[in-house]
Amino acid sequence: MINIDYKLQPSDLTAKLKSFWELSGKKIHSIEQNYDVSKGSPVFTRQGKYTTRGWTEWTQGFQFGSAILQFDATSEQDFLEIGRKNTLKVMAAHISHIGVHDHGFNNVSTYGNLLRLMREGKIAFNEWEKNFYELALKISGAVQASRWTPIKNGGYIHSFNGSHSLFVDTIRSCRALVVSHQLGHIFQGEGDVKINMLDRALQHIKATADYSVFYGEGRDSYDIWGRTAHESVFNVKDGNFRCPNSQQGYTGFTTWTRGLAWAMCGFSEELEFLETLEDSELEAFGGRTLIENYMLKAARATCDFYIEQTPIDGIPYWDTGAPNLHKLGDYLGKKANPYNDFEPVDSSAAAIGSQGLLRLGNYLIKKGEKEAGQKYWQIGLTVLNSLLEEPYLSINESHQGLLLHSIYHQPNGWDYVPEGSKIANGESSMWGDYHIREVALYVQKIINNEPYYTFYNCL
């Protein structure tokens, strides 16, 4: 269980954040100057150099979104130009990509962040540039919403595995739908039928809460409060749920920690977004109370499970049911060891999860649940504090990664195992690097009394 540092304040991280952004900028420049784009999007590192992996093109938005976040944090103009130039040059294909569930990753991280900077006055206002970003976000949300599978009690955005497949991580792509909706886009289907994207986003969030998250209510023999399944499988002919499954975790009955972290972050930020809507707009979907209740239950449950099933420093192993964890002894009672002989840690899950903890904590404090909110908030800071130092912060400037000990696909054996080691370690991922930057920016803005960082600040 994570040891909570109740004395830690955001301002205590100021010096670490300064060093972090200096390192971050050097990594971005290294990739921009040296990566061979003809090989595809950079996904994860091997021996410190970014490489690609032909699965889907889901990480390019994190690459250029990182440069945009770097500009936001440091005001260094060259990073803005890297982000702008490459968004214009290569991101159009991601807007119209009908084969993935990752629009909230690729396009909100690039077009969305650029539009947000303009709304916040950090870059000069230009009407046509604004229209360009808005159009991209409108279409991206509609394309994402088109990946739709109806089920008995709603529907969901299906994964690239097919219409039968609900992935827990897709909750973070609901950002694309709600942004498009809020920008006033009209999504139309056969016969010009108008499809409400807020409705589809909320249905997907509800399906994730119902099927991807467990609440200790007896669904199966492994039903524990806050456990998540990476994939939920449905019979698409009758709309019935069939079973939990996993693609990147150990099994459908264990918890892949990055999937858990996506849920923690996704539910928490969508709760924040819900606060911007009028009660009247939510009536058609069951009303605010109903929607808040299932989102908040899922956010609390997943964050609680993370807290209970993670070592004391806040860095989890790649799956809480990984088969060799028992060989580590009391692994939850000591700091995570990325150099052990049995199971890898996944720092990218910590980066994503820390943001979920902070956002849930902030949300609850504002709602008057000060004690509960402060607990989640302090744990979020505790996790971030661990990530901002060795062995997780990559201080070697020749290593292109920023956050070390990230895991991509342990079951497939895709991650690099260094010579002399028995497990993968020492490498980085584009999503891990982006999300450590995102949570670092989130906290830095709080320290500097800047506008609270949300994806919907682009509206």
pLDDT at 39: 84
Q: Is 50 helix (H, G, I), strand (E, B) or coil?
A: strand
Phi, psi of 164 (to 5 degrees): -80, -5
The CA dihedral of 111, 116, 119, 124, to the nearest 10 degrees, is -60
| Closest to 293 (Cα-Cα) out of 162, 205, 355, 391 | 205
pLDDT at 418: 97
pLDDT at 349: 98
Query: pLDDT (tens digit, 0 to 9) for every residue of the chain, 459 residues total?
Result: 999 999 999 999 999 999 999 999 999 999 999 998 888 889 999 999 999 986 777 899 999 999 999 999 999 999 999 999 999 999 999 999 999 889 999 999 999 999 999 999 999 999 999 999 999 999 999 999 999 999 999 999 999 999 999 999 999 999 999 999 999 999 999 999 999 999 999 999 999 999 999 999 999 999 999 999 999 999 999 999 999 999 999 999 999 999 999 999 999 999 999 999 999 999 999 999 999 999 999 999 999 999 999 999 999 999 999 999 999 999 999 999 999 999 999 999 999 999 999 999 999 999 999 999 999 999 999 999 999 999 999 999 999 999 999 999 999 999 999 999 999 999 999 999 999 999 999 999 999 999 999 999 999
pLDDT at 93: 94
Structure tokens at 47: 């021996």
What pTM value is reported for the model? 0.98
Identify whether the C-beta of residue 436 lies closer than 8 Å to the C-beta of residue 387: yes
User: What is the distance in angstroms between the CA of the first residue and the CA of the last residue of the chain?
Assistant: 38
Q: Is 306 helix (H, G, I), strand (E, B) or coil?
A: helix
Would you list the domain boundaries of the chain? 10-145+256-458
R_g of the chain, CA atoms, integer Å:
20
pLDDT at 57: 77
pLDDT at 58: 87
How many helices (H) and strands (E) are present in the chain, helices listed first?
Answer: 15, 9
* Distance separating alpha carbons of residues 230 and 260, to the nearest angstrom: 8
Fold assignment, 10-145+256-458: Glycosyltransferase (1.50.10)
pLDDT at 53: 82
Which sign, positive or negative, has the C-alpha torsion 298, 302, 303, 304?
A: positive
pLDDT at 320: 98
